[in-house]
Amino acid sequence: MTAKGQGRTAFAYLAPALLVLAGLLAYPIYQLVLISLYDYGQEQVSGGAPLEFLGLGNYQELLGNQQFWGVLGQTVAFAAVCVVGTLLVGAFLAILATRVRTWVRMTLFLAALGAWSTPAVAGSTIWLFLFDANFGFVNEVLGIQGFSWTFDKWTAFGLVAAQVIWCSFPFVMVTLYAGIKAIPGEVLEAAALDGASAFRTAWSVTLPLLRPIILVVTIQSIIWDFKVFTQIYVMTGGGGIAGRNLVLNVYAYQQAFAASEYGLGAAIGVVMTVLLLGITMFYLRALRRSGEVL
């Protein structure tokens, strides 16, 4: 077939995909930026009031807003706790999984698979029930009936973080386990023959070999935990009392759909996207530097 014919057939095959992606991803991204530059409120949406171009006004309002900075800080801290927790639990269990018999490992993986596959909404409600002030099993065991985990800001955040770690450590564990298993036995034997201690082998042989995988799961976790929506929304009832448990994603939603400040909500969305793209760029560069070919 001629090169031109190839191109034509290829685009015929690609057309449906391009149509969907252009209409439902590219165009909304463009719209997101556009809306964030306007004063877009209830009057404009349903009343037909004229749109007012604000330029960077929405961003100025955000940057001057105490609550925004608070929420941003909370988001970063919350994501950091979730990421570190997920990685530590996942890595620790992956290492343990290499040292036990198959049936024990399969039991652990099956349990993890259950946590992994639980839909976020269902998982959140189960945890809420387990930690319910009066009827929860945890309070019964701890003997603190009547204690509300979701009332206090920090216990509420802690509870949500625990739930997030519960459903996201399996990915880290399974991936790292596969990574450890893929290290050829000869390499470890050579290290042992050279007289390296178990710790030294782990630190100087296993860890460097696992670096690309660790990098991948770290960034993946950061991206996931930075935009947690369902767990926060369901477990703290839409961001906690007076919005003290808000994270960026829920904040954007509340600004847009509860307060009808669509322009402001879009601006928060843009900020979130830019932050995440920044992290992704950093990730790609780190990957390239570690010699990984994309």
Based on the shown chain and the rule CB under 8 A, indicate whether residue 127 belongs to the binding site for another protein. yes
Q: Kindly tell me which of 239 and 265 has the beta carbon lying closer to another protein.
A: 265
Query: Rounded to 5 degrees, what angle do the CA atoms 284, 33, 223 make?
Result: 35
Based on the shown chain and the rule CB under 8 A, indicate whether residue 84 belongs to the binding site for another protein. no
Restricted to residues 170-229, the positions that interact with another protein (CB under 8 A) are 171, 174-175, 178, 216, 223, 226-227, 229
Out of 60, 65, 67, 134, which residue is the one contacting another protein (CB under 8 A)? 134
Restricted to residues 37-76, the positions that interact with another protein (CB under 8 A) are none
Tokens of 112: 């993890």
Based on the shown chain and the rule CB under 8 A, indicate whether residue 99 belongs to the binding site for another protein. yes
State the nearest-atom distance from the C-beta of 148 to another protein, in Å. Answer: 11
Sign of CA dihedral 246, 249, 253, 255: positive
Contacting range for another protein; rule: CB under 8 A; set: 57-65, 73-81, 104-112, 150-158: 104-112
Alpha-carbon gap, residue 250 to 228, rounded angstroms:
8
Out of 2, 55, 102, 110, which residue is the one contacting another protein (CB under 8 A)? 110
Contact between 149 and 155 under an 8 Å Cβ cutoff? The reply is: yes
State the nearest-atom distance from the C-beta of 65 to another protein, in Å. Answer: 18
Look at residues 273, 268, 272 and name the one whose alpha carbon lies nearest to residue 257: 268
DSSP 101-167: -HHHHHHHHHHHHHHHHS-HHHHHHHHHHHT-TTT-HHHHHHT-TT--TTTSHHHHHHHHHHHHHHH
Out of 80, 115, 202, 286, which residue is the one contacting another protein (CB under 8 A)? 115
Restricted to residues 230-289, the positions that interact with another protein (CB under 8 A) are 230, 233-234, 249, 252-253, 256-257, 262, 265-266, 269-270, 272-273, 276-277, 280
